C-alpha cells in the first residue's frame, strides 16, 4: 500500500530545497567576493608599482634639480620654461603624436566618453600571434605598440617607441634607439629585452605563430645593446626590412615568458593581452569569447605625448546587418558601414543624415575579396589543381554583373593582389570578362561535359563537377553573390552548393585546409608582399597559402623581389609575378570595395588621409565635446 505525502513531508522537502538554494547563493556570493578580491589584489599590486616608480621619479627629479642648482644658467632655464606660451607646447610633441596634439588645441576639445563600434561576428581569440582575423588585430592595436608608425599625410615612417634608428650600408643591420619613458599598462618598464623576447617567443616552433614566422624568418637575430638599444640583423637583404622590424608588436617579457614552459596553454588561450598602448583590458588574462563584447579601458600609465580622448573603447557583437543599422539609428554605436544596396536610401533618410557624417571613398589600402580554389584536399589533388579549370571559373564569374547588381558600382574589379594604383601592377593586364563559351571549351579540354543529359557536366568516370562554396553566413551581400554565382555556374553545367558557416568554423577550416572553395578577403598595404599567401613554402598546416597553390616560377620571382631593395629593380619583378598569377588564377580575384560609412556627428575631427579615414587610427585624433558626451567612465 502506497503511503501519501503528508503536510509535514511537504514542509520538510520545502525546507530542504530552501537550504540547497541558500547554499548555492552563498557559493555564488563567495565566488563574486573572490573575483573582487582578485581584482583588488591586481589593483593594489599595480598601485605598488606606481608608487615605486613615483619614488624613483622623485629621486631622479631631485638629482636633476641639484645639478641645475650648480649650473649658472639654471634659473634662466626655469624662468624660460615657466613663461612658455601654450602654442609652444606642441614643439616638444613627437611627430607620431602631432596630429593628435593638434586635435587637443581645438576650442571644443574634451576628454571623456566612449568610442563604441560593432563587430559582425564573435571573436574566437584576441591573444596575439594566435589570432588570425582583422577584427582581433584591430583590438590588439589599441594595446600593443611598435617601434614605428606611418605618417598618414606623407606615408613616411616615424618613431613611436623608437626615438630614431640607423641602417647599415648593406641594409642588413638596423639599430633602433628606444625612448626610456615607456611603461606597460601594469607599470613595468619597456626596454630592449622585451623586443628580444618578442622575436624569440614568436620564432619558437612550439608557439602557434606560423604566419608571423613566415616573414620574420628573414631575420638572423635580434639582440639588446644596453637597455634602450636593439639591433636587428637580417640573413639577407629584404625590401621591407625596416617595416618588418619597426612594426613588430612588442610583447612584455614579464607577462608572456611563463608560457614558454606551457606553450599549449598559450596556443589555446582566448584573451592573454597586455601591452604599452593607450588602452588595456581590465583583466589582461580574463577575456573569453562567451563575453561577446570586447571592452577596453584607458591605460592610466600611458606614456604617450598625448593622452587618448576616450575613457573606453567598446565593440558590441551585432551579427545581423539590419540590427546593426537599428542600433546605429538609436545611437548605441557610433558608426555604420552601409551596404551599397542601402547606401543610396540612407543618404535620403532625414534622421540618419541629421545625426551623421557620411564618407564615401576607396581606401588606399583597401582589401580585396576573392574565391579561393583549393588545389589539394586531404593529400589528394582536387578538380581545381588544373589551371584551365580555374581560368574557366573566372570566365564564368561575371564580376561586372555582380559589381552592378550587388555593389551598385561602389566597387572595382580586382585583377590581382596588387592595387591598380600601385607600381606593382602591370597596367597592360585587364580583367577577364564573362565568357560562357570560353569556360565551356576549357572545361571540355579537361574532360568535363554533360554525358547523361542531366544538365551537370561530368568527367570521364561520371563524377559530376560540383563543389561546396564556403562563406560567412552573416554577410548579406555575400549571400546574394553566392546565389548569383550558383545561377551563372549552372549555365556551364557546374553545380555550386552553398555552404554558409560561422566565423570560428571558417577559421578552423582554413587552418586544416578542409574546404573545396572559399570566399574571403585579404587586407592590402602600400606595397603588398604576397609571400604569405602564394609562395609554395606556405602551403603548410596553419599557413596562409591554404589553397595549396604552388608554382616554382612564381616562388623564384617572389624570393627575388623580396630580396631586391632598389624599388626601380623590384617593381618589374612584382609585375612579372602578377602576370603569372593572372595566367594561373590561384584565386578568382573579385573586388575592392569603397568604404560607405555613416558616423555619429558627436564624433569630431574626422578627416581623410592618404591611409583612409583617420577614425580608429592611433594615436587617436577624434574626441567628443563635453555637451555631446553621453557615457561616464
Grid cell digits, residue 442? 576549357
Each residue of 46-80: b (16+ CB within 10 Å) or e? beebeeeeeeeeeeeeeeeeeeeeeeeeeeeeeee
Please check the confidence at residue 287 and state whether its pLDDT lies above 70: yes
Please choose, from the candidates 271, 273, 275, 272, the residue with its C-alpha nearest in 3D space to the C-alpha of residue 291. Answer: 271
CA 515 – CA 570 distance, rounded (Å): 35
Grid cell digits, residue 616? 580608429
Contact call for residues 204 and 221 (beta carbons, < 8 A): no
The answer to whether position 259 is within a domain reads yes
User: What's the total number of domains in the chain?
Assistant: 3
Beta strands in 103-147 (DSSP E): 114-119
Does 224 share its domain with 338? no
Per-residue confidence (pLDDT) for residue 132, from 0 to 100: 87
pLDDT digits (tens, 9 = 90+) for 146-172: 999 999 999 999 999 999 999 999 999
CA 214 – CA 218 distance, rounded (Å): 8
* Mean pLDDT, residues 512-519 taken together: 96
CA 254 – CA 159 distance, rounded (Å): 24
Phi then psi for residue 284, to 5 deg, are: -70, -5
pTM of the prediction?
0.81
- pLDDT tier for residue 286 given thresholds of 50, 70 and 90: very high
Per-residue confidence (pLDDT) for residue 399, from 0 to 100: 98
Per-residue confidence (pLDDT) for residue 23, from 0 to 100: 63
The CATH code of the domain that includes 227 is: 3.90.76.10
Residue written as cell 620654461? 81
Does 376 share its domain with 401? yes
Greater pLDDT, 92 or 42: 92
Pairing relation of β-strands 173-178 and 157-159? unpaired
Residue written as cell 598618414? 152
Number of continuous H segments (helices) and E segments (strands) in the chain: 20, 23
Greater pLDDT, 32 or 290: 290
Does 256 share its domain with 151? yes
Does 511 share its domain with 633? no
Rg (CA), the chain: 29
Please check the confidence at residue 11 and state whether its pLDDT lies above 80: no
DSSP 604: B
Contact call for residues 425 and 418 (beta carbons, < 8 A): yes
Instruction: DSSP for 501-551, please give it.
Output: E-HHHHHHHHHHT--SEEEEEE---SS---HHHH-GGG-STT-S-TT----
Q: Tell me if residue 358 falls in helix, strand or coil.
A: strand
Instruction: DSSP for 545-557, please give it.
Output: -TT----HHHHHH
Does 433 share its domain with 478? yes
Beta strands in 378-525 (DSSP E): 380-381, 411-413, 466-472, 495-501, 517-522
Does 195 share its domain with 103? no
Phi then psi for residue 232, to 5 deg, are: -100, 125
Per-residue confidence (pLDDT) for residue 43, from 0 to 100: 46
How many Cβ atoms from other residues are within 10 Å of residue 256's Cβ? 20
The answer to whether position 157 is within a domain reads yes
Instruction: DSSP for 556-600, please give it.
Output: HHHHHHHT---HHHHHHHHHHHHHHHHHH-SEEEEEEE-EEEEEE
Please check the confidence at residue 55 and state whether its pLDDT lies above 80: no
Grid cell digits, residue 135? 577584427
44: Cα within 13 Å, side-chain hemisphere: 6
Does 380 share its domain with 524? yes
Judge residue 20's burial from the number of C-beta atoms within 10 Å of its C-beta, 0-12 exposed, 13-18 middle, 19 or more buried.
Answer: exposed
Grid cell digits, residue 345? 536610401
pLDDT digits (tens, 9 = 90+) for 477-493: 999 999 999 999 999 99
CA 35 – CA 31 distance, rounded (Å): 6
Please check the confidence at residue 27 and state whether its pLDDT lies above 70: no
CA distances from 443 to 372, 440, 447, 498 (A): 18, 5, 6, 21
Please choose, from the candidates 410, 372, 423, the residue with its C-alpha nearest in 3D space to the C-alpha of residue 572. Answer: 423
- DSSP lists the bridge partners of residue 412 as 592
Q: What distance separates the 2 farthest-apart alpha carbons in the chain?
A: 110
**Domain span holding position 321:** 93-122+292-363+596-633
Lowest mean per-residue pLDDT among 70-79, 228-237, 430-439? 70-79
The answer to whether position 2 is within a domain reads no
CA 257 – CA 204 distance, rounded (Å): 12
**At CA 73, angle to CA 71 and CA 74, rounded to 5?**
65
The CATH code of the domain that includes 390 is: 3.10.105.10
Please check the confidence at residue 386 and state whether its pLDDT lies above 90: yes
Contact call for residues 239 and 564 (beta carbons, < 8 A): yes
- pLDDT tier for residue 1 given thresholds of 50, 70 and 90: very low
The CATH code of the domain that includes 297 is: 3.40.190.10
Does 541 share its domain with 606? no
* Mean pLDDT, residues 499-528 taken together: 93
Does 557 share its domain with 422? yes
Judge residue 36's burial from the number of C-beta atoms within 10 Å of its C-beta, 0-12 exposed, 13-18 middle, 19 or more buried.
Answer: exposed
Per-residue confidence (pLDDT) for residue 39, from 0 to 100: 44
The answer to whether position 245 is within a domain reads yes
Please choose, from the candidates 222, 176, 231, 173, the residue with its C-alpha nearest in 3D space to the C-alpha of residue 199. Answer: 222
Please check the confidence at residue 84 and state whether its pLDDT lies above 50: no
Contact call for residues 176 and 165 (beta carbons, < 8 A): yes
CA 525 – CA 533 distance, rounded (Å): 14
- pLDDT tier for residue 439 given thresholds of 50, 70 and 90: very high
**At CA 524, angle to CA 251 and CA 516, rounded to 5?**
95
Q: Tell me if residue 473 falls in helix, strand or coil.
A: coil
Does 475 share its domain with 428? yes
The answer to whether position 47 is within a domain reads no
- pLDDT tier for residue 580 given thresholds of 50, 70 and 90: very high
CA 518 – CA 472 distance, rounded (Å): 9
Instruction: DSSP for 239-252, please give it.
Output: TTHHHHHHTPPPPP
Does 555 share its domain with 602? no
Please check the confidence at residue 556 and state whether its pLDDT lies above 70: yes
Does 345 share its domain with 450? no
pLDDT digits (tens, 9 = 90+) for 180-211: 999 999 999 999 999 999 999 999 999 999 88
Please choose, from the candidates 524, 517, 521, the residue with its C-alpha nearest in 3D space to the C-alpha of residue 499. Answer: 517
The answer to whether position 37 is within a domain reads no
- pLDDT tier for residue 6 given thresholds of 50, 70 and 90: low
The answer to whether position 625 is within a domain reads yes
How confident is the prediction for the chain on average, in pLDDT? 88
Residues 6 or more apart whose CB falls under 8 angstroms from that of 72 comprise none
Contact call for residues 422 and 414 (beta carbons, < 8 A): no
Instruction: DSSP for 31-60, please give it.
Output: HHHHHHHHHHHHHHHHHHHHHHHHHHHHHH
CA distances from 189 to 50, 181, 257, 259, 301 (A): 11, 8, 15, 20, 11
Query: Using CA of residue 348, residue 351, residue 354, residue 360, what is the dihedral sign?
Result: negative
Instruction: DSSP for 308-345, please give it.
Output: -S-SEEEEEE---HHHHHHHHHTTSSSEEE--HHHHHH
Final residue of a structural domain among 211, 237, 271: 271
The answer to whether position 624 is within a domain reads yes
Amino acid at each position: 500500500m502506497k503511503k501519501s505525502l503528508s503536510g509535514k513531508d511537504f514542509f520538510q522537502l520545502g525546507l530542504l530545497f530552501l537550504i540547497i538554494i541558500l547554499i548555492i547563493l552563498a557559493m555564488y556570493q563567495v565566488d563574486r567576493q573572490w573575483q573582487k578580491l582578485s581584482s583588488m589584489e591586481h589593483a593594489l599590486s599595480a598601485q605598488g608599482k606606481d608608487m615605486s616608480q613615483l619614488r624613483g621619479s622623485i629621486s631622479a627629479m631631485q638629482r636633476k634639480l641639484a645639478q641645475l642648482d650648480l649650473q649658472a644658467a639654471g634659473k634662466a632655464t626655469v624662468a624660460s620654461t615657466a613663461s612658455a606660451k601654450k602654442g609652444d607646447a606642441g614643439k616638444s610633441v613627437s611627430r607620431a603624436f602631432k596630429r593628435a596634439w593638434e586635435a587637443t588645441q581645438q576650442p571644443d576639445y574634451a576628454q571623456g566618453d566612449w568610442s563604441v563600434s560593432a563587430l559582425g561576428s564573435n571573436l574566437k581569440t584576441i591573444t596575439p600571434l594566435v589570432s588570425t582575423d582583422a577584427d582581433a588585430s584591430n583590438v590588439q592595436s589599441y594595446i600593443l605598440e611598435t617601434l614605428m608608425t606611418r605618417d598618414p599625410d606623407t606615408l613616411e615612417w616615424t618613431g613611436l617607441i623608437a626615438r630614431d634608428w640607423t641602417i647599415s650600408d648593406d641594409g642588413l643591420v638596423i639599430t633602433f634607439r628606444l625612448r626610456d619613458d615607456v611603461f606597460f599598462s601594469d607599470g613595468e618598464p619597456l626596454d630592449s629585452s622585451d623586443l628580444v623576447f618578442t622575436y624569440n617567443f614568436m620564432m619558437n616552433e612550439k608557439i602557434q605563430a606560423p604566419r608571423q614566422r613566415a616573414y620574420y624568418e628573414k631575420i638572423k637575430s635580434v639582440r639588446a645593446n644596453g637597455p634602450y638599444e636593439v639591433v636587428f640583423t637580417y640573413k639577407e637583404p629584404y625590401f621591407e626590412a625596416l617595416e618588418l622590424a619597426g612594426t613588430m608588436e612588442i610583447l612584455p617579457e614579464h607577462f608572456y615568458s611563463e608560457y614558454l614552459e606551457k606553450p599549449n596553454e598559450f596556443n589555446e588561450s582566448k584573451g592573454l593581452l597586455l601591452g604599452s598602448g593607450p588602452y588595456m583590458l581590465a583583466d589582461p588574462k580574463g577575456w573569453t569569447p562567451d563575453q561577446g563584447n570586447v571592452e577596453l579601458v584607458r591605460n592610466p600609465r600611458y606614456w604617450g605625448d598625448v593622452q587618448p580622448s576616450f575613457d573606453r573603447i567598446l565593440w558590441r557583437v551585432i551579427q545581423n546587418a539590419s540590427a546593426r543599422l537599428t542600433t546605429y539609428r538609436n545611437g548605441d554605436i557610433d558608426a555604420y558601414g552601409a551596404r551599397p544596396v542601402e547606401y543610396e536610401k540612407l543618404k535620403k533618410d532625414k534622421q540618419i543624415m541629421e545625426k551623421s557624417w557620411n564618407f564615401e571613398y576607396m581606401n588606399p589600402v583597401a582589401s580585396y575579396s576573392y574565391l579561393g580554389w583549393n588545389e589539394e584536399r586531404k593529400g589528394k589533388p582536387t578538380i581545381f589543381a588544373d589551371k584551365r579549370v580555374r581560368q574557366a571559373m573566372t570566365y564564368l564569374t561575371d564580376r561586372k554583373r555582380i559589381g552592378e547588381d550587388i555593389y551598385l558600382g561602389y566597387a572595382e574589379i580586382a585583377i590581382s593582389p596588387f592595387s591598380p594604383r600601385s607600381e606593382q601592377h602591370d597596367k597592360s593586364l585587364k580583367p577577364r570578362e564573362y565568357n560562357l563559351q570560353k569556360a565551356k571549351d576549357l572545361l571540355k579540354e579537361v574532360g568535363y561535359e554533360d554525358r547523361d543529359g542531366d544538365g551537370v557536366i561530368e568527367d570521364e568516370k561520371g563524377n559530376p563537377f560540383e563543389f561546396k562554396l564556403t562563406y560567412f553566413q552573416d554577410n548579406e551581400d555575400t549571400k546574394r553573390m553566392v546565389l548569383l554565382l550558383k545561377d551563372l555556374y549552372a549555365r556551364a553545367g557546374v553545380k555550386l552548393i552553398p555552404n554558409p558557416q560561422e566565423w570560428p568554423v571558417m577559421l578552423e577550416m582554413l587552418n586544416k585546409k578542409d574546404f573545396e572553395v572559399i570566399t574571403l578577403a585579404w587586407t592590402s598595404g602600400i606595397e603588398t608582399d604576397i609571400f604569405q599567401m602564394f609562395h609554395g613554402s606556405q602551403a603548410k598546416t596553419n599557413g596562409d597559402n591554404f589553397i595549396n597553390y604552388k608554382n616554382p616560377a612564381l616562388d623564384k620571382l617572389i624570393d627575388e623581389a623580396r630580396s631586391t631593395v632598389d624599388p626601380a629593380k623590384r617593381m618589374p619583378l612584382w609585375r612579372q609575378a602578377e602576370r603569372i598569377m593572372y595566367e594561373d588564377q590561384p584565386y578568382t580575384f573579385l573586388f575592392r570595395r569603397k568604404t560607405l560609412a555613416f558616423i555619429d556627428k558627436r564624433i569630431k575631427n574626422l578627416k581623410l588621409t592618404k591611409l583612409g579615414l583617420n577614425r580608429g587610427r592611433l594615436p587617436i585624433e577624434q574626441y567628443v565635446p563635453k555637451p555631446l558626451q553621453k557615457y561616464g567612465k
